[in-house]
């Protein structure tokens, strides 16, 4: 067989293999979707049957136990009492989240009276995703993570990580009341620079304890080593451009720690790392970097550059007095190298609401 024949055969194999991979993926997605919708209908059927009993609690336990026994006998594993109870809860939780997510309220055991006809919701995630989401009591928070998991194709592991790092609460801190309302209806929408900002950023994946001493160079290297994780933390639309990006102006050389580009906002995003307390000089330096990129690097059709100073400590008063009142380009955010306390974030949100 000559080289041409080998190349043709290899090309043929690649095309056929790609078709088969796509087919398998489509079949897996179809099976998953069918399973999720079936579990929803199983939950609906159980709840409707429970409503026929006078003593709902006792009657419900009895029918689930009997149903589990018969289904397991015919269909095998997967229909334990626990699993059937989860399907029932799935229907109670998501059966009310269909037409108007603003007015959604979690169905509780005490509210299972004369339930109206419920249409089938648009269920796009896997059963594992829904098992996790059903554990979230806050309707707005649950809806946000459901939307984001689908839009960003998060695995269950990625979804758990975003929840564990309190993504929803951190985004709330950088938004006004209208913005918070939009989060629970549409997820995270990037329309302006501030929409992409988190405060704090959580960098627990780099493996540096909070009380450990390290240099800015070491922090930068850790982020590069875990670039995939860092991109996930940065959020939607971010692509990596370079580290220690050098530019020269008036015969002086400058280096920007990390440079990214956001495809949604269509702009460069410059990040400067500070392991100490934020100073007005740090903000001034970032302003200079941003000005340079706006005047000499960005293309005419691209939007203005965003600059983010990531620091261990910051004084909001210093940030406010240093930056112009109409600032939409320079931001200062804290970073944490350990998972944040939900209680602390809750207090920050409450104090923010009091100020508004």
DSSP assignment of 261-289: EETTTTEEEEEEEEEEE--HHHHHHHHHH
Q: Alpha-carbon distance 141 to 163, whole Å?
A: 9
With b meaning 16 or more CB within 10 Å and e meaning fewer, what string describes 182-215? bbbeebbeeeebbbbbbbbbbbbbbebeeeeeee
HSE (side-chain half, CA atoms, 13 Å) at 228: 1
Q: Quote the domain boundaries for residue 58.
A: 3-100+114-125
263 contacts 239 by C-beta, under 8 angstroms = yes
Total of domains in the chain: 2
Q: Alpha-carbon distance 39 to 210, whole Å?
A: 44
- Answer whether residue 156 is part of any domain: no
- Answer whether residue 171 is part of any domain: no
In this structure, the answer to whether residues 118 and 213 fall within a common structural domain is no
**Structural tokens at position 21:** 């991979």
In this structure, the answer to whether residues 119 and 224 fall within a common structural domain is no
Q: Which of 125, 160, 191 is the last residue of a domain?
A: 125
**DSSP conformation class of 246:** E
HSE (side-chain half, CA atoms, 13 Å) at 274: 21
**Structural tokens at position 138:** 């806050």
In this structure, the answer to whether residues 121 and 215 fall within a common structural domain is no
Q: pLDDT tens digits for the chain (356 residues)?
A: 566 666 657 778 888 888 888 898 888 778 888 999 999 999 999 988 887 765 566 777 888 999 999 999 999 888 999 999 999 999 999 886 654 444 433 333 333 334 445 566 788 899 999 999 999 989 999 999 999 999 998 999 999 999 998 899 888 876 777 777 788 788 888 889 999 999 889 999 998 877 668 899 999 999 999 999 999 999 999 999 999 999 998 889 999 999 999 999 999 999 999 998 899 999 999 999 999 999 999 999 999 999 999 999 998 899 999 998 899 999 999 999 887 776 777 666 666 556 55
Q: Is the pTM here over 0.85, yes or no?
A: no
In this structure, the answer to whether residues 212 and 319 fall within a common structural domain is yes
In this structure, the answer to whether residues 208 and 313 fall within a common structural domain is yes
In this structure, the answer to whether residues 7 and 95 fall within a common structural domain is yes
- Give me the CATH number covering residue 246: 3.40.1350.10
How many other C-beta atoms are found inside a 10 Å radius of the C-beta of residue 217? 12
- Answer whether residue 211 is part of any domain: yes
């Amino acid at each position: 067989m000559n080289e041409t024949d080998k190349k043709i055969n290899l090309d043929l194999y690649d095309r056929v293999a790609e078709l088969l991979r796509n087919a398998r993926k489509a079949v897996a997605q179809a099976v998953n979707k069918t399973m999720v919708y079936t579990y929803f209908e199983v939950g609906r059927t159980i709840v409707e049957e429970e409503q026929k009993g006078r003593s709902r609690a006792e009657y419900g336990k009895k029918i689930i136990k009997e149903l589990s026994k018969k289904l397991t006998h015919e269909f095998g594993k997967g229909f334990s009492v626990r699993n059937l109870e989860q399907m029932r809860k799935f229907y109670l939780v998501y059966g009310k989240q269909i037409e108007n997510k603003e007015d959604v309220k979690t169905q509780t055991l005490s509210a299972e009276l004369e339930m109206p006809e419920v249409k089938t919701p648009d269920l796009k995630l896997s059963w594992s995703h829904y098992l996790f989401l059903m554990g979230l009591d806050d309707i707005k928070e649950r809806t946000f993570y459901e939307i984001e998991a689908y839009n960003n194709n998060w695995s269950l592991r990625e979804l758990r990580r975003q929840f564990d790092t309190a993504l929803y609460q951190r985004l709330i801190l950088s938004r006004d009341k209208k913005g918070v309302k939009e989060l629970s209806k549409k997820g995270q929408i990037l329309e302006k620079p501030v929409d992409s900002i988190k405060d704090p950023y959580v960098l627990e994946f780099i493996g540096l304890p909070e009380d450990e001493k390290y240099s800015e160079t070491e922090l930068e290297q850790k982020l590069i080593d875990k670039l995939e994780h860092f991109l996930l933390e940065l959020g939607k639309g971010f692509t990596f451009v370079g580290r220690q990006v050098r530019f020269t102006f008036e015969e002086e050389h400058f280096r920007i720690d990390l440079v990214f580009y956001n495809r949604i906002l269509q702009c460069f995003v410059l990040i400067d790392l500070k392991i100490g307390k934020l100073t007005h000089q740090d903000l001034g330096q970032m302003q200079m970097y941003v000005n340079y990129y706006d005047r000499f690097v960005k293309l005419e059709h691209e939007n203005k550059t965003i600059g983010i100073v990531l620091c261990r400590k910051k004084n909001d008063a210093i940030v406010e007095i240093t930056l112009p009142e109409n600032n939409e380009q320079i931001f200062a955010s804290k970073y944490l190298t350990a998972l944040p306390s939900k209680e602390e974030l809750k207090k920050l949100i409450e104090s923010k609401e009091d100020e508004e």
